């Protein structure tokens, strides 16, 4: 029996075998595409209907209010749910929510996590105090400062900064107006100072004057004005000054404690400040009298 196969016959056999394999691959691919299409259609129409919506995270708003704002329809397929739209809707409606995360838990559950806004500072303005969250959101305008949030004075903001507005301190300033840049700079300064304020200082801080960012002042314990200087080494300088208060000044003395550029500090008590003020006024009055006398002499000379 002859088992030999000629080269031509073998080539034809090998070609037919490869062709059959290619046909099988096309069949399998076609079947896969059809099944995938069927799965997608079913997922968008029948499969994975949402049956449970869970609201997590603390908030001043009720879970039902948040759920209603999410506006998830009965029987809506979880795949068609647009998380970004829900997050935006919740943030736009509820000022005291800083962040929202929508999570799809297949096959039928949606979890909405809300992160509340916490006032990080109270900014003194003409009509009261603007409550500012750590994310840069203006929460409300209130006639009274927020308890446990440091009060800032000397902050200049535009009329566009109103409750509900968020100042993104990490935003690109290239296309901003000068007014928008000024608002961003002011809010960034407030948030940075507030974040760097140690708890032991925060508890006794009456207000922080940031009118001059190179000469930040803190009214401490309603009796001491702390001259911090600029933001550089802010925490260190606060720690240094409060250590002086504890070890040298004590709990009953009032006055002005100023950080020096040399690394030391200068303190003048209230009596010294009053003396300096009286001395200044006396010198000012003397200079005014001398000026008036000089003016009168000059007038007499001119008339003669």
**pLDDT tens digits for range 214-263:** 999 999 999 999 999 999 999 999 999 999 999 999 888 999 999 999 99
d(CA 137, CA 91): 11
Domain range annotation of the chain: 52-116, 119-271
- 32: burial class by Cβ within 10 Å (0-12, 13-18, 19+)? exposed
Q: In which residue are the tokens 């009274």 written?
A: 144
Fold of 119-271: Rossmann fold (3.40.50)
Q: Residues with Cβ < 8 Å from 75, sequence gap 6 or more?
A: 49, 50
If one compares 18 and 184, the residue with the highest pLDDT of the two is: 184
d(CA 214, CA 232): 9
What's the CATH class of domain 52-116? Answer: alpha beta
Mean residue pLDDT of the chain comes to: 84
Q: Judge if 52-116 and 119-271 fold alike in CATH terms.
A: no
- The pLDDT tens digits for 126-163 are 999 999 999 999 999 999 999 989 999 999 999 999 99
Q: What is the pLDDT of residue 25?
A: 67
pLDDT of residue 21 exceeding 80: no
Q: Residues with Cβ < 8 Å from 224, sequence gap 6 or more?
A: 245, 249, 253, 254, 255, 256, 257
Q: What is the pLDDT of residue 74?
A: 78
* Model pTM score: 0.73
- The pLDDT tens digits for 253-285 are 999 999 999 999 999 998 865 755 666 676 767
Structure-derived torsion over alpha carbons of residues 179, 185, 186, 192, reported in degrees to the nearest 10: 160
């Amino acid at each position: 029996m002859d088992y030999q196969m000629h080269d031509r016959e073998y080539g034809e056999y090998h070609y037919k075998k490869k062709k059959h394999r290619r046909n099988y691959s096309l069949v399998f691919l076609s079947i896969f595409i059809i099944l995938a299409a069927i799965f997608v259609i079913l997922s968008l129409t029948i499969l994975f209907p949402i049956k449970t919506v869970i609201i997590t995270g603390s908030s001043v708003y009720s879970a039902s209010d948040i759920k209603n704002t999410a506006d998830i329809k009965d029987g809506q397929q979880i795949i068609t749910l647009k998380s970004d739209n829900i997050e935006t809707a919740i943030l736009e409606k509820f000022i005291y929510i800083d962040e929202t995360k929508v999570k799809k838990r297949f096959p039928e559950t949606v979890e909405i996590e809300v992160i509340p806004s916490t006032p990080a500072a109270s900014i003194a303005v003409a009509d009261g105090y603007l409550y500012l969250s750590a994310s840069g959101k203006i929460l409300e305008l209130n006639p009274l400062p927020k308890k446990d949030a440091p009060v800032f004075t000397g902050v200049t903001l535009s009329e566009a900064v109103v409750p509900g507005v968020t100042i993104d301190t990490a935003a690109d300033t290239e296309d901003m107006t000068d007014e928008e840049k000024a608002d961003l700079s002011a809010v960034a300064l407030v948030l940075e100072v507030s974040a760097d304020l140690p708890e032991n200082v925060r508890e006794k801080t009456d207000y922080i004057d940031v009118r001059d960012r190179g000469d930040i002042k803190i009214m401490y314990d309603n009796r001491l004005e702390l001259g911090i200087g600029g933001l550089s080494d802010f925490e260190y300088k606060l720690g240094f000054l409060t250590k002086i208060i504890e070890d040298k000044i004590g709990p009953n003395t009032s006055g002005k404690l100023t950080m020096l550029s040399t690394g030391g500090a200068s303190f003048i008590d209230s009596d010294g400040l009053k003396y300096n003020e009286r001395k200044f006024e006396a010198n000012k009055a003397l200079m005014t009298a001398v000026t008036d006398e000089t003016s009168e002499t000059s007038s007499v000379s001119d008339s003669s």
